Amino acid sequence: MMQSLELVRPSKAMDCIATVVASDWLTPTIKSIRLDLHNPDFAFLPGQSVWPKFERDGKRFSKIYSIASSPSQCPIVELCVSRVGWSSAYLQDLPIGASLPLRGPYGLMTIDRLPTLPRLYIVEGSGIAPIKSQIEWLYEQQYEHPVWLVQANPETPDELPYEDLWRSLTLQWPQFRYFETIRPESILQTIASFRNGIVSFRNGIDLDDFEIDICAVDDRSSQIRDAVLAHGANAAAVRSESFHAF
Ligand SMILES: Cc1cc2nc3c(=O)[nH]c(=O)nc-3n(C[C@H](O)[C@H](O)[C@H](O)COP(=O)(O)OP(=O)(O)OC[C@H]3O[C@@H](n4cnc5c(N)ncnc54)[C@H](O)[C@@H]3O)c2cc1C
């Protein structure tokens, strides 16, 4: 995974016909789906998304899914999809070799250069997708500031997507800390523990020293955002993305 890479800022969105090259369960409801975009010009920033195109009962529509892999893997991109309704089940059930038209990239909760501050990521469920892309890219750059991940999964609380990856990254990358929270209320307790000093901050850093990205479903993102602000985070350094159905 170690690979130094200059980020290529995508000039515009493009259409691709992707091929499914892998499809693996990460939890009982969440799948990793790897797509070959067959397009050497496709570029994206960590945290961006694509819009797969669907057709159902003669109607065409599109839904947005974050890219879960680092840009260094292009033209392979990974999606991390939670099974909730028709579109997500369609993606999860695509066999290896199936074609999927899509358009992208889009999205603003990105890294467009190497950041300079400690980074705290707080995610629930498949909200890990855009954050995994960011963390993998930061690891490839051997980012020298703290990178902390707080993860929960309300769908199956004791099974967290990519938990083995995060545990092994903890051993390989001293800047990385992983907080697994396996009870639904624990994510807010973990944030409170940062504030109360239960979790020690190396070099005296505090919650308001972090840039914080939050990604969860529906109004959970804003609930978590309110909690980090209540615990002293710097509002200008907090971003959140909400997975909701269009
Ligand atoms: C910016 C953005 C990025 C997104 N990225 C992803 C992604 O990387 N992975 C992903 O699985 N989904 C992602 N989504 C959600 C995705 O676009 C679809 O809305 C979702 O898959 C539901 O579509 P559906 O047709 O399967 O079900 P629908 O019948 O449309 O589902 C309806 C219900 O599912 C709930 N829901 C939507 N998304 C999720 C989810 N991820 N987990 C649990 N419940 C959900 C909504 O509350 C909604 O009530 C993203 C949404 C946005 C806005």
Q: Domain map of the chain by residue range?
A: 14-106, 119-243
Is any atom of ligand 1 closer than 6 Å to the C-beta of 84? yes
Q: Which residue(s) pair with 122 in the sheet?
A: 150, 214
Identify the pLDDT of residue 197: 54
Identify the pLDDT of residue 232: 87
Task: Please name the fold of domain 119-243.
Answer: Rossmann fold (3.40.50)
Is any atom of ligand 1 closer than 6 Å to the C-beta of 67? no
Whose tokens are 């799948």? That residue is 31
**Rounded Cα gap, residues 170 and 178, in angstroms:** 7
Is any atom of ligand 1 closer than 6 Å to the C-beta of 73? no
Number of CB atoms found within 10 A of residue 6's CB: 8
**Rounded Cα gap, residues 170 and 157, in angstroms:** 21
- DSSP type of residue 113: S
Identify the pLDDT of residue 14: 96
- Cα(163) to centroid of ligand 1, in Å? 21
Q: Which of 45, 221, 243 to mutate to test the pocket of ligand 1 (most atoms within 8 A of CB)?
A: 243
- DSSP type of residue 10: P
pTM (predicted TM-score)? 0.95
**Rounded Cα gap, residues 163 and 156, in angstroms:** 13
Low-confidence ranges of the chain (pLDDT < 50): 1-2, 203
Distances (CA, A) of 149 to 118, 122, 130, 135, 245: 11, 6, 13, 9, 25
Identify the pLDDT of residue 189: 84
Q: Are 56 and 86 in contact (CB under 8 A)?
A: yes
**Rounded Cα gap, residues 82 and 88, in angstroms:** 6
Is any atom of ligand 1 closer than 6 Å to the C-beta of 243? yes
Is any atom of ligand 1 closer than 6 Å to the C-beta of 14? no
- Cα(145) to centroid of ligand 1, in Å? 32
Identify the pLDDT of residue 231: 85
Atom of ligand 1 nearest to the CA of 88: 26
**Rounded Cα gap, residues 77 and 66, in angstroms:** 10
- Cα(7) to centroid of ligand 1, in Å? 27
Identify the pLDDT of residue 192: 80
Instruction: Judge if 14-106 and 119-243 fold alike in CATH terms.
Output: no
Is any atom of ligand 1 closer than 6 Å to the C-beta of 66? yes
Is any atom of ligand 1 closer than 6 Å to the C-beta of 30? no
CATH architecture of 14-106: Beta Barrel (2.40)
Identify the pLDDT of residue 1: 46
Identify the pLDDT of residue 75: 96
Atom of ligand 1 nearest to the CA of 83: 26
**Digit-coded pLDDT (tens) for 182-241:** 876 788 888 887 765 555 555 455 788 899 999 999 999 999 999 999 888 999 999 999
